[in-house]
């Protein structure tokens, strides 16, 4: 099976739908052709000129970046327009560019979850819920001869995966119910039936195939259903469910197994980034592209504020620029807030209310998400022939 840009996008959007992105954001395929084949993919946090050069050097056909390259509207693609240089370079090199930003921040792949799990936090919950996923039961009636082809097609767009709000939802996939029955229909003049004749009542041994799909994925599921179903007009039902899916949002908050002094937990947090001690996936090709994982200078720019003797039990984490979530963390009773890009006044507000703050910088707070995304893509069977490389320029931009 040939891997296309659209297939990679489809698999990312299965866990981080574009509809989750903020209105001001710019996610999805920003440069390139969705039908273009991809043999090598470069993952990066940012879409800089060095990342584009690296993609050219390593022969990547697609860059998947967390941060978009086009936030402000481009008025032209002239060579003397500085803001147009990166998209122009991508177009000249035939490299597609895909961004997953605030939609990925709200997914289970976010760094907030990765760091919380690495710290061994318990009773983890969202810090700032945004919405709860709505589930739709999809029921379709298929001739027995075609049921497996239809089922596999629906599986390819995420139907039947992660269909509960429980803690074990990620442990099950391809969840369907199947039962026999008889379908009846009479093709009228102008019809083009796959089975039966015009004007005759037709009886067909069919199977009722049903599963659950996220509301955001319904249209995609119906498109592929119509494509593979043998009937000119497939019969299907869409049933809204009251048992909603999991909530999504920004950041997490949870408890350490046992309270620890700030002076004890802080070196442990630093070590996570110094050694990459969580389950960091390795590149398919053992190239320099994952060398940043063992960079001894990795924690550059990490800062801590608060009483080192303070007992820490509850920790809030927000990847990226998380200063605006300090009030949420205080409301949740966090003893320590971990994030990036904390301003002077935001820090003072936290300290005034006795909450310690670890500002680990924007890059460090988000790069675990790139590792999680790489791992997620590498475990998808449809992408088994795709080489996935983490950019060697994924590093803290500060030099001191």
pLDDT tens digits for range 230-283? 999 999 999 999 887 778 999 999 999 999 999 999 999 998 887 653 433 333
- The pLDDT-based confidence of 167 (bands split at 50, 70, 90) is low
| pLDDT value for 355 | 98
- The pLDDT-based confidence of 291 (bands split at 50, 70, 90) is very low
User: pTM of the entire structure?
Assistant: 0.80
What's the CATH class of domain 5-101?
Answer: alpha beta
Looking at per-residue confidence, does 166 or 186 come out higher? 186
Q: Enter the CATH code of domain 134-240.
A: 3.30.70.120
The answer on pLDDT for 52 being more than 80 is yes
As a whole number, mean pLDDT of residues 27-42 equals: 96
Helices (H), 99-199: 102-105, 111-118, 147-156
Question: How many Å apart are CA 125 and CA 217, to the nearest integer?
Answer: 24
Contacts of 143 (CB under 8 A, 6+ apart): 183, 195, 204, 205, 206, 207, 230, 231
High-pLDDT (> 70) share of the chain, %: 92
Can you tell me whether residue 29 is helix, strand or coil? strand
- Cα torsion 183, 187, 192, 197 to 10°: value is 90
As a whole number, mean pLDDT of residues 34-54 equals: 96
Q: What is the per-residue pLDDT across 77-91, written as a single tens digit (0 to 9) for each? A: 888 888 889 999 999
Return the CATH architecture of domain 111-130+248-278+285-362.
3-Layer(aba) Sandwich (3.40)
The answer on pLDDT for 196 being more than 60 is yes
| pLDDT value for 282 | 33
Question: How many Å apart are CA 117 and CA 278, to the nearest integer?
Answer: 8
CATH topology match: 5-101 vs 134-240:
no
| pLDDT value for 214 | 87
Lowest-pLDDT choice from 112-116, 143-147, 186-190, 289-293: 289-293
- Quickly tell me which residue has 């049933």 as its tokens: 239
Question: How many Å apart are CA 7 and CA 382, to the nearest integer?
Answer: 8
C-beta separation of 273 from 363 below 8 A? no
Lowest-pLDDT choice from 113-117, 145-149, 171-175, 201-205: 171-175
- Cα torsion 144, 146, 151, 152 to 10°: value is 140
Q: What is the per-residue pLDDT across 311-334, written as a single tens digit (0 to 9) for each? A: 999 999 999 999 999 999 999 999
Question: φ and ψ at 243, to 5 degrees?
Answer: -80, 90
Other Cβ atoms within 10 Å of 258 Cβ, number? 7
What is the domain partition of the chain in residue ranges? 5-101, 111-130+248-278+285-362, 134-240
Residue 262 pairs in a beta bridge with none
Q: CA distances (Å), 253 to each of 121, 329, 334, 372, in order? A: 8, 8, 7, 19
């Amino acid at each position: 099976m040939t891997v296309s840009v659209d297939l990679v996008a489809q698999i990312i959007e299965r866990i981080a739908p574009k509809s989750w992105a903020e209105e001001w954001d710019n996610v999805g395929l920003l440069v390139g052709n969705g039908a273009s084949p991809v043999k090598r993919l470069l993952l990066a946090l940012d879409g800089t000129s060095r990342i584009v050069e690296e993609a050219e050097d390593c022969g990547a056909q697609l860059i998947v970046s967390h941060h978009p390259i086009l936030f402000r509207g481009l008025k032209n693609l002239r060579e003397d327009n500085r803001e147009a240089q990166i998209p122009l370079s991508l177009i000249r090199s035939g490299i597609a560019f895909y961004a997953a930003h605030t939609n990925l921040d709200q997914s289970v792949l976010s760094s907030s979850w990765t760091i919380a799990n690495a710290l061994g936090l318990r009773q983890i919950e969202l810090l700032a819920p945004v919405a709860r996923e709505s589930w739709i039961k999809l029921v379709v009636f298929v001739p027995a001869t075609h049921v497996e082809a239809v089922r596999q097609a629906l599986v390819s767009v995420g139907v039947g995966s992660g269909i509960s709000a429980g803690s074990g939802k990620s442990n099950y996939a391809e969840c369907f119910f199947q039962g026999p029955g008889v379908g009846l229909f009479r093709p009228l003049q102008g019809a083009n039936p796959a089975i039966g004749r015009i004007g005759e009542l037709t009886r067909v041994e069919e199977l009722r195939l049903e599963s659950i799909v996220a509301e955001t994925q319904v249209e995609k599921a119906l498109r592929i259903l119509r494509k593979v179903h043998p009937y000119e007009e497939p019969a299907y039902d869409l049933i809204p469910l009251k048992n909603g899916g999991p909530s999504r949002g920004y950041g997490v908050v949870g408890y350490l197994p046992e309270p620890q002094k700030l002076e004890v937990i802080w070196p442990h947090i630093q070590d996570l980034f110094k050694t990459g001690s969580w389950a960091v996936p390795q590149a398919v090709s053992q190239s320099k592209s994952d060398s940043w994982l063992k960079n001894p200078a990795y924690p550059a720019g990490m800062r801590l504020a608060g009483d080192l003797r303070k007992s820490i039990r509850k920790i809030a984490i927000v990847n990226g620029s998380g200063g605006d979530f300090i009030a949420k963390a205080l409301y949740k009773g966090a003893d320590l807030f971990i994030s990036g890009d904390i301003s002077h006044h935001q820090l003072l507000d936290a300290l005034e209310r006795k909450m310690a703050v670890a500002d680990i910088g924007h890059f460090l707070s988000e790069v675990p998400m790139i590792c999680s995304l790489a791992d997620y893509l590498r475990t998808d069977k449809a992408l088994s022939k795709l080489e996935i490389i983490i950019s060697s320029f994924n590093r803290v931009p500060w030099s001191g």
